[in-house]
Structure 1
Amino acid sequence: MPDETPLVVYRDRVRAEWVDYNGHLRDAFYLLLFSYATDVLIDQIGLDDATRRERARSIYTLEAHVNYLHEIKEGAPVRVDVRVLAHDAKRLHVYLEMLTDARAEPVATGEQMLLHVDTSGPKAATFDADIVVRIEALVEAQSRANLPPATHRARAIGLPSHGPR
């Protein structure tokens, strides 16, 4: 699993306590791994722990979607790649892909809407100028990287309609 430079990358291994009665990664822990990966992104854009405390700022997750594509067994190394799909003055729209050494394609994907927050309120807050510069630099680097399409994004959840029942 070689790193692709413009992606924000988080690495871990499936731990025994994360495995369910089916012998694979419990569904909740996919989201935990995605959450850890967004922490790496937050640090990379300049909102590390010290800055969050100093400025009374943080990132909250407004919405999250997970696609479980393949099972992952205990002990498997995992990598989560994060890319910023879009951003505005207060929000980041991110796409995450979870990969293992055993597969070329993602084993799971996630999509999240993140909100920049003034924790003294708490209330939504615009990103500080230095953070915006870092976000824009990351987005620019990712746009030049010829990354594969985010194929599992923005999927609606629902049952097919078969008319009135």
Structure 2
Amino acid sequence: MPRHAQLPAYQDIVRAEWVDYNGHLRDAFYMLIFSFATDALIDAIGLDDSVRKARGRSIYTLEAHINYLHEIKEGAKVQVQMRVLAHDAKRMHLYLEMFADDRDEPVAAGEQMLLHVDTSGPRAAVFDDDVAARVRALVDAQASLPAAGFAGRVIGLPRPTRT
């Protein structure tokens, strides 16, 4: 994903308490940063805290995948850029890339399947019209971007061959 694209973004700094015994950002904190970025996207599509409370709506994460591409250390300035790869009436397939300092290549990439919910159930709910319109507008604005480089990867080992 080009860093210069006008995409929803989140910025943070790798904190000392997020660093492991190797001096690198601990694997769980990549997800934490992606989670904070997802919160920023949720706000950007019109589901900020006040709207979530007033409407009894929220977003739940159904599935998440992370590709750890490069190590980063305490104090690194990170930026997460996001795009919606696909959506339907209740779900969004979100793609995220994390950049550190002045690197042009991502240090991590992630995908999340998000579900819009009515919190009184909780149960899946169709996006409200205004939110659905913002999601569509975001997808349309990102339509000309190149393919998401690390999307759709499957984890697994090759099956052993029988001899």
Displacement of 1:155 after TM fit? 0.8
- Name the counterpart of 1:55: 55
CA distance in 2, matches of 1:114, 1:23: 32
Structure 1 residue 113: Cα displacement: 0.3
Which segments of 5 or more consecutive residues in structure 2 lack a partner in the other structure? none
| Structure 1 unmatched ranges of 5 or more | none
- Take 1:102 and 1:129, find their aligned partners in 2: how far apart are those partners? 39
Residue 133 of structure 1 aligns with which residue?
133
RMSD value, Cα: 1.6
Deviation at 1:163, TM superposition (A): 3.0
Tell me if structure 2 keeps the 8 A contact 1:3–1:9.
Answer: no
Tell me the secondary structure at the aligned position of residue 114 of structure 1.
strand
Alignment of 1:78-157 (within 5 A): 78-143=78-143, 146-157=144-155
Q: CA deviation at 1:164?
A: 5.5
* Partners of 1:122 and 1:48 in 2: CA distance: 18
Q: Tell me, in whole angstroms, the C-alpha distance in 1 between the residues paired with 2:48 and 2:67.
A: 28
Q: Aligned AA for 1:4? A: A
User: Residue 86 of structure 1 aligns to a residue in which SS?
Assistant: strand
Distance in 1 between residues matched to 2:72 and 2:142, nearest whole Å: 27
Runs of 4+ in 1 over 6 A off after TM superposition: none
Q: Any conservation in 2 of the 1:25–1:72 contact (CA below 8 Å)?
A: yes
User: Structure 1 residues 39 and 3 mapped into 2: Cα distance closer, same or farther (>3 Å)?
Assistant: farther
Q: Secondary structure at the match of 1:37?
A: helix
Report how far residue 101 of structure 1 moved. Answer: 2.1
Q: How many residue pairs align between the two structures?
A: 162
1:148: how far off?
3.4
SS at match of 2:142: helix
Deviation at 1:2, TM superposition (A): 6.1
Q: State the 1:150 CA deviation.
A: 0.8
2:23 pairs with 1:23: yes
Local SS of the residue matching 1:117: strand
Aligned to 1:66: 66
Q: Which amino acid aligns with 1:34?
A: F
Give the superposition deviation at 1:103.
1.8
Partner in structure 1 of residue 5 of structure 2: 4
Q: Deviations over 1:128-158 (max 9, x none)?
A: 0011111111111111xx4332111111111
What is the aligned partner in structure 2 of residue 160 from structure 1?
A: 158
